[in-house]
Amino acid sequence: MSDTPPDRLAIDPESPFHNAELLARGVGIRFKGVEKHNVEEYCISEGWIRVQAGKTLDRKGKPLTLKLSGAVEAWYEDVKAGEASPEG
């Protein structure tokens, strides 16, 4: 597997950009220099993330999301943890 997350990824299983295997590795997101833990979907090339808008739900029972624009960085949590530990 690559150590670079895909350009676009979503946690919603009904999304065409959902990938359970990649999500199981743990994906970290930094948006405008701040780590975010509430990201529903992201796109690095287009520079946006989707976050849940409070506890509001749509008529199908899914959370409403807001699309925020800005610089997006993504990494795998297991790779970041591996870099921090000394080898020996």
Going from N- to C-terminal start, the domains of the chain cover 8-73
pLDDT, tens digit, 9 for 90 and up, residues 54-73:
999 999 998 899 999 999 99
pLDDT, tens digit, 9 for 90 and up, residues 11-33:
999 999 999 999 999 999 999 99
Question: How far apart (Å, rounded) are the C-alpha atoms in residues 68 and 26?
Answer: 21
Band of residue 85 on the pLDDT scale cut at 50, 70, 90: very low
Return the structure tokens found at 2: 């690559």
Burial-class residue 39 by CB neighbours within 10 Å (0-12, 13-18, 19+): buried
Band of residue 87 on the pLDDT scale cut at 50, 70, 90: very low
